[in-house]
Amino acid sequence: MTTENNSPVASNFIRNLIDADLAAGKHDKTVTRFPPEPNGYLHVGHAKSICLNFGIQDDYRARGYDSHCNLRFDDTNPEKESEEYALAIQDDIKWLGFDWDGEVKWASDYFDRLYRYAEELIEKGLAYVCELTPEQMREYRGNLTEPGRPSPYRERSPAENLDLFRRMKAGEFADGSRTLRLKIDMASPNINLRDPVIYRIRRAHHIRTGDKWCIYPMYDYTHCISDAIEGITHSLCTLEFEDHRPLYDWVLDNISIDCHPQQIEFSRLELLYTVTSKRKLNQLVSEGLVAGWDDPRMPTVSGMRRRGYTAAGIRLFAQRCGISKSENVIDLSVLEGAVREVLESEAPRVMAVLDPIKVTLTNFEAGVTGSRSAPFHPNHPEFGEREVPLAATLYIERDDFAEVPPPGWQRLTPGGEVRLRYSYVIKCDEVIKDANGQVVELRCSIDHETLGKNPVGRKVKGVIHWISAEHAIEAEVRLYDRLFTELRPDAVRGADGEYLDFKGFINPESLRVSTGYIEACVADAAPETRYQFERLGYFVTDRYDHAPGRVVFNRTVGLKDSWAKQA
Ligand code: ATP
Ligand code: MG
């Protein structure tokens, strides 16, 4: 990672804080963590957090510090979590180019310790077993303008609470019938401090601990203690946890643990034209609106990978998003731009025609008409070259021909000339149509004096891509576009002011499948091989469906620059 010019974490306020802590001797190392809940696949927002947390490990190590970043699964909601998700998350982190320190960690590894700390809090008179129903609890909690009221169970003695809590653990009570709550302050202006629940009863099978527990700790309680157990120095999270920080600190201040990580919040990445919430992405998958979590239209790491985005492109994007406390709403074009920028120098270029019209070269003459070789990349001779064979029948792109050209047209038109990329200048002599008036064939003639040379006495500005029909291979080409038609699909309100279902804004054009004709040299490409199809965009062989004898390409992203600029 560190040898790269696009270090994933540029300087930001968090790194300035860490630098200050190191300079002041508060710490002599950095320990961060990435704490996903294994309840879905990672998305682009998680990628930002991964680049931040693991980027700190890699960069501070490069600067000579003892730096670590843990991967810790926050597995406190057994009903929603699965091994499939946990494995996919590990794959995604590695694919993004990062690695965690030591073994994968799980909050459930700490369930015994969390339980002992809860007993400690009870013994200190700082936690109690409550029997309010969820509705009553809501009612007692008050709201932003009114203080809460104490639960009638709040003054139970430590001995009674200890007995009840042990019986909760032993399975004596029904699910949801009791909770363990911290005894903090029912009048606090911060609602998170109004005696938050830290344990609930739930008979659910857990992916790691099986049926050992019927009580599970809540996120806020679990997270701070897990951080402290692991010796995290800086616990980085998104801004919605700012109001939870007093609780994070309260718990650590009141149990016998001698590590107190500093929680620092930064703003969540929000990407326009998409949704970044596992819950919503899960709906798209479970309702069959996309082909799966790794559908190339999904903003998941596995979806972006399948789409052909590179890890370096995503890291560059994360770097450009920056880390701050202000709103981080980013247009999809920034992500596409970063991906394009990395592919621009990495992807070999070939020609492909995706919407063909047949061209017959009427004066093609075997043995006379020649062909040239072409470099795979104009700036990387080391990528090599291949022969681009010409034959009497070609395909060109339908929109490179116009019967009635608009002003300034430089491509093919009746009686006009154009250069075939890496080949001759041709002239369109005749247009052949079918019964419906649809152009089915162009009959053109070659100027045999123009292979690698300018025509004499005139300028031919336009250059188009093409492919020899007999030499091309056929491929299934999946043309992906944005998944949603709305800027913020999950924030559109109807006439009554209510939010509309984001799933109503799926772009019907987000996937089109066509048959493409491509240079034969791509036939043996492994899955996940990326190319630029000249003038069309970047494409990747599909990770799963591309196989010997079945060529399948996904469009990763179009080209920003017009052909005219590139030629
Ligand atoms: P979601 O709402 O999609 O489920 P989450 O925050 O609940 O997201 P977690 O698995 O708990 O998902 O997140 C793991 C880490 O990733 C957390 O530290 C969280 O702050 C961070 N993270 C999640 N979404 C974003 C985002 N959009 N931008 C930046 N960081 C994010
Ligand atoms: Mg979460």
3-state SS, residue 323: coil
Task: Give the Cα separation of 275 and 502 in Å (integer).
Answer: 9
Counting from 1 in the atom list of ligand 1, the atom nearest the Cα of 37 is 10
Is 37 annotated to bind ligand? yes
Looking at residue 448, its amino acid is H
User: If you measure from the C-alpha of residue 38 to the centroid of ligand 2, how many angstroms do you get, rounded to a whole number?
Assistant: 9
Is 268 annotated to bind ligand? yes
Contacts of 561 (CB under 8 A, 6+ apart): none
User: If you measure from the C-alpha of residue 36 to the centroid of ligand 2, how many angstroms do you get, rounded to a whole number?
Assistant: 7
pLDDT of residue 11: 84
Kind and range of the H or E element at 198? strand 197-201
pLDDT of residue 488: 94
Active site residue 461: no
Tokens coding 318 = 């994360």
User: If you measure from the C-alpha of residue 44 to the centroid of ligand 2, how many angstroms do you get, rounded to a whole number?
Assistant: 14
Task: Give the Cα separation of 262 and 324 in Å (integer).
Answer: 17
pLDDT of residue 560: 74
Closest C-alpha to ligand 1, atom 14: 36
Is 488 annotated to bind ligand? no
Which of 15, 33, 37, 48 is catalytic? The answer is 37
Beginning with the edge strand found earlier in the chain, give each strand of the sheet holding 105-106 in spatial order: 29-34, 66-73, 105-106
pLDDT of residue 563: 28
Is 377 buried (19+), middle (13-18) or exposed (0-12) by CB count in 10 A? middle
**Domain layout of the chain by residue ranges:** 13-105+221-274+307-340, 111-218, 350-470
Tokens coding 476 = 């299934």
Task: Give the Cα separation of 212 and 204 in Å (integer).
Answer: 10
- Residues in contact with ligand 1 by the CB-under-6-Å rule are 35-37, 45-46, 48-49, 74, 237-238, 268-269, 276-278
CATH topology of domain 350-470: Ribosomal Protein L25; Chain P (2.40.240)
Domain boundaries 111-218, CATH class: alpha beta
Question: Is the CB of residue 71 less than 8 Å from the CB of residue 102?
Answer: no
Ligand whose nearest atom lies closest to the CA of 35: 1
Please state at what angle helix 13-23 crosses helix 44-62, rounded to 10 degrees. Answer: 30
SS3 content of the chain, % helix, strand, coil (to 5): 30, 25, 45
Ligand 1 probe mutation, 48, 89, 238, most atoms within 8 A of CB: 238
Ligand 1 probe mutation, 34, 39, 49, most atoms within 8 A of CB: 49
pLDDT of residue 3: 38
What DSSP letter does each residue of 62-85 carry, written as one string? HTT-EEEEEEEE----GGG--HHH
Ligand whose nearest atom lies closest to the CA of 274: 1
Task: Give the Cα separation of 121 and 111 in Å (integer).
Answer: 15
- Bridge partners of 529? none
Give residue 131's Cα distance to chain centre: 42
Which of 245, 278, 307, 315 is catalytic? The answer is 278
10-residue mean pLDDT profile of the chain (567 residues): values are: 47 95 97 97 98 96 97 96 97 98 97 98 98 97 95 98 98 98 97 98 97 98 98 98 98 98 97 94 97 98 98 97 92 94 97 98 96 96 96 98 96 98 98 97 97 93 97 97 93 94 96 97 95 97 95 94 34
Tokens coding 347 = 């992807």
Which of 61, 149, 154, 268 is catalytic? The answer is 268
User: If you measure from the C-alpha of residue 63 to the centroid of ligand 2, how many angstroms do you get, rounded to a whole number?
Assistant: 32
Long-range Cβ pairs for the range 185-189 (8 Å, 24+) = 186/140, 186/141, 186/142, 186/147, 186/148, 186/149, 186/150, 186/154, 187/147, 187/148
Long-range Cβ pairs for the range 387-391 (8 Å, 24+) = 388/351, 388/422, 388/423, 388/519, 389/468, 389/471, 390/361, 390/364, 390/420, 390/423, 390/424, 390/468, 391/361, 391/364, 391/468, 391/469, 391/470, 391/471
Active site residue 268: yes
Active site residue 278: yes
User: If you measure from the C-alpha of residue 45 to the centroid of ligand 1, how many angstroms do you get, rounded to a whole number?
Assistant: 6
Question: Is the CB of residue 356 less than 8 Å from the CB of residue 399?
Answer: no
Ligand whose nearest atom lies closest to the CA of 42: 1
CATH topology of domain 13-105+221-274+307-340: Rossmann fold (3.40.50)
User: If you measure from the C-alpha of residue 219 to the centroid of ligand 2, how many angstroms do you get, rounded to a whole number?
Assistant: 9
Is 269 annotated to bind ligand? yes
Closest C-alpha to ligand 1, atom 23: 46
